[in-house]
């Protein structure tokens, strides 16, 4: 699926301070190489641990037409950088500030799934400040096994499976090393399906099989064998239902651009959405690239299609002429302008 690209100056933003920094760098360099090969003027913006004034100054110096976000995890996938790009008026790939934040926050995502009748495994939340001396009472009749996840991390960072109160305590300690809040989710045994979506179009699904109890960080990026099935081994009717559910989950959060939805499909004919990834990993052998490849996209095609969707999500409001009110006695102007409370809008 060859595309005729409009040459742009593109800033590929990667790296950052999250636990997924190394994965982000892999994605960013792969995207940069693909876009460069297609003739774009690519600037690799590899961020360090600080996003503040340094990033703003970097964006100003780079003078880019669009930002391609290859960030993963906290501060990159949760709406923070997206908000900065909105302020800088630089179109960017992926979802809006709000959708990014909702998808990254596992608690809020689950609450919205339930509101929109999107099935997700039962759960409860534990905070780092909660009294865990009576963990048995807190856990109650929830049962085992469970999966414990940091509320605001991605790529299966800090995820553990627990089969007892002792393991649950250790899993919570591990999760709290990444976040102040953790989700305790009922373990659901089933087939792991990942669905790719691009600009609202469902591209397809891939099935993953592995030997570990859960699809954690080590399984994703370690040396353990993982089998991929495309098409999936689901019946055509069942797969259509899974694709529809994935699309509903992404829509419930308001996600746009390239999205990957992770689901579990049980032998009892139930499907559960685990999470929605608004900035999925982008390497030629990554899950989204595999799914898009079956749809006819070469990796560079996929990168260009994502770039084509770069935009601002906040409307450009009509500028108003502002006039200061009469200055009262003892009133001080700040930097030559009156405070907002003493301003009125006209026209």
pLDDT at position 346, please? Answer: 35
Q: Which of 123, 124, 221, 228 is catalytic?
A: 221
CB 187 within 8 A of CB 161: yes
pLDDT at position 48, please? Answer: 74
Q: Whole-angstrom Cα distance, residue 228 to residue 231?
A: 9
Residue 66 parent element (H or E): strand 66-69
Q: Which of 8, 26, 44, 260 is catalytic?
A: 260
Helix axes 97-104, 80-88, angle to 10 degrees: 170
Residues of the chain with pLDDT below 50 are: 320, 322, 325-326, 328-347
| Fold annotation for 9-103 | Rossmann fold (3.40.50)
Q: Which of 78, 105, 181, 275 is catalytic?
A: 275
Q: Whole-angstrom Cα distance, residue 236 to residue 12?
A: 38
* Active site annotation includes 221: yes
Spatial CA neighbour of 59 closest among 35, 28, 82? 82
Measure Cα distances from 57 to 29, 54, 246, 310 in Å. Answer: 22, 5, 38, 21
Cis omega (within 30 of 0) for bond into 231:
yes
Q: Which of 155, 272, 286, 293 is catalytic?
A: 155
Q: Whole-angstrom Cα distance, residue 60 to residue 54?
A: 10
Q: Read off the pLDDT of residues 168-195 as tens digits, 9 standing for 90 and up.
A: 999 999 999 989 999 999 999 999 999 9
Q: pTM score, two decimals?
A: 0.85
Q: Whole-angstrom Cα distance, residue 279 to residue 277?
A: 6
Instruction: Spell out the CATH class of 189-308.
Output: alpha beta
pLDDT at position 312, please? Answer: 96
* Active site annotation includes 262: yes
Q: Which of 38, 179, 277, 301 is catalytic?
A: 277
Q: Whole-angstrom Cα distance, residue 265 to residue 179?
A: 28
* Active site annotation includes 156: no
What is 236-262 written as a DSSP string?
HHHHHHHHHHHHHHHHHHT--SEEEEE
* Active site annotation includes 79: no
pLDDT at position 220, please? Answer: 54
Residue 61 parent element (H or E): helix 53-62
Q: Which of 185, 192, 262, 301 is catalytic?
A: 262
CB 186 within 8 A of CB 140: no
Domain residue spans in the chain?
A: 9-103, 122-186, 189-308
* Active site annotation includes 320: no
* Active site annotation includes 227: no
* Active site annotation includes 235: no
CATH number of this structure's domain 122-186: 3.30.1490.20
DSSP state of 337: B
Tell me how crowded residue 244 is: count the other CB atoms within 10 A of its CB.
13
Measure Cα distances from 73 to 21, 97, 114, 162, 277 in Å. Answer: 8, 14, 24, 24, 10
pLDDT at position 333, please? Answer: 41
pLDDT at position 188, please? Answer: 93
Q: Which of 20, 153, 179, 304 is catalytic?
A: 20
* Active site annotation includes 92: no
């Amino acid at each position: 699926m060859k595309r005729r690209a409009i040459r742009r100056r593109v800033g590929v933003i990667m790296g950052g301070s999250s636990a997924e920094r190394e994965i982000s760098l892999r994605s960013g360099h792969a995207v940069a190489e693909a876009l460069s090969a297609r003739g774009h003027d690519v600037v690799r913006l590899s961020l360090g641990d600080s996003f503040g004034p340094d990033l703003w100054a970097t964006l100003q110096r780079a003078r880019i037409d669009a930002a391609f976000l290859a960030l993963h995890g906290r501060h990159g996938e949760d709406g923070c950088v997206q908000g900065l790009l909105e302020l800088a008026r630089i179109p960017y790939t992926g979802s809006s500030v709000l959708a990014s934040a909702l998808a990254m926050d596992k608690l809020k995502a689950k609450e919205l799934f339930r509101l929109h009748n999107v099935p997700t495994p039962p759960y409860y939340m534990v905070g780092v400040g909660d009294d865990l001396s009576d963990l048995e009472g807190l856990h109650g009749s929830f049962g085992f096994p469970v999966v414990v996840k940091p509320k605001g991390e991605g790529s299966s960072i800090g995820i553990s499976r627990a089969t007892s109160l002792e393991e649950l305590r250790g899993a919570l300690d591990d999760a709290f090393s990444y976040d102040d809040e953790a989700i305790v989710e009922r373990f659901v045994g089933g087939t792991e399906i990942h669905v790719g979506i691009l600009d609202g179009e469902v591209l397809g699904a891939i099935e993953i099989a592995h030997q570990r109890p859960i699809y954690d960080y080590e399984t994703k990026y370690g040396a353990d064998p993982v089998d991929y099935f495309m098409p999936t081994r689901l019946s055509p009717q069942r797969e259509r239902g899974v694709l529809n559910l994935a699309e509903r989950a992404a829509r419930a959060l308001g996600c746009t651009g390239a999205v990957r939805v992770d689901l579990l499909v049980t032998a009892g004919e139930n499907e559960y959405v685990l999470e929605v990834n608004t900035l999925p990993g982008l390497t030629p052998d990554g899950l989204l690239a595999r799914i898009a490849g079956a749809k006819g996209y070469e990796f560079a095609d996929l990168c260009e299609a994502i770039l084509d969707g770069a935009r601002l999500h906040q409307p450009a409001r009509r500028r108003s002429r502002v006039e200061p009110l009469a200055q009262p006695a003892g009133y001080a102007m700040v930097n030559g302008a009156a405070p907002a409370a003493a301003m009125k809008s006209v026209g």
